[in-house]
Amino acid sequence: MLDPESRSVRWATYAVSVLGGAALWEFAGRRANAAVAAPLSATLLRLWEMIETGELRASLGGSLALFVAGFGIALLTALPFGLLLSRARVLRVALSDYILLVNAMPMVALIPFILSIFGLEMGAKVLVVFLFCFFPVLYNTIEGADSVRPELIEVARSYRSGEWAIWRDVMLPGTFPYAMTGVRQAIGRGLVGVVAAEFFLSASGIGQLLMTSGRNFDTAGLLATVLVITLLGVALMGVGRALEDRFTAWRGLAG
């Protein structure tokens, strides 16, 4: 844990960095063409207008629902599937090439294919977000499960632990930090998936707001929407980091 002086230095560094970035944005925005960039002051003013009119709230609500659905399904499937592939070597050998093949595909390129099968319904958008989120969680879960020392599993077996007990008491605690790294990666990719789904499928939510701002040459509105997406991603990844620290505090005690 950091001492108070180190913590103060860290926060001071953050503050200087943020203020410096804000000043640079303001300066560059004022010198650039209004159709290309907008200063921070104009962006924040446009953001406040979007909040007051309810435009942002309406768009953000639908996008968040889409993100939660796709991201949640990815978590519920990738975590147990990653553990299963780590424990069932035959299944892993049989499926690894297919998983690698799908992961190597540009997810955006799959959207027309998804459109042709599922149409413009909500399920198609959820599938897009799911695909963006699934693989970071899966690969990090597998890596975490592979990092569990075989000696721990042997000790558990020596105490007559069944397969479920090994998963619960050995595999899950050892895998959790790695899985949370995948979760944080999936948050960023999932937000990209939300925008891509709302861009290329039926326009709605944040994607529609970005399209409308771009078509109307509303640069301040466009940057305000991007800023909201960025801050949302940072906040969600911060929550993921806090959960990881909360549930892996035992690692510091063990060290």
Instruction: Name the band, by pLDDT with cuts 50, 70 and 90, for residue 67.
Output: very high
Contact (Cβ atoms closer than 8 angstroms) between residue 184 and residue 137: no
Q: How many residues does the chain have?
A: 255
Where do the domains of the chain lie, and which CATH numbers do they carry?
Answer: 43-250 (1.10.3720.10)
Instruction: Judge whether residue 74 has pLDDT over 90.
Output: yes
Instruction: Judge whether residue 249 has pLDDT over 60.
Output: no
Instruction: Name the band, by pLDDT with cuts 50, 70 and 90, for residue 253.
Output: very low
Q: How far apart are the first and last CA of the chain?
A: 14
In the predicted model, what is the mean pLDDT of residues 77-92?
Answer: 86
Contact (Cβ atoms closer than 8 angstroms) between residue 144 and residue 179: yes
Instruction: Judge whether residue 156 has pLDDT over 60.
Output: yes
pTM equals: 0.81
Instruction: Judge whether residue 169 has pLDDT over 90.
Output: no
* Residue 135: partners with Cβ closer than 8 Å, 6 or more residues away: 78, 99, 102, 103
How far is residue 249's CA from residue 228's CA, in Å, rounded to a whole number? Answer: 31
Read off the tokens for 27. Answer: 């300066």
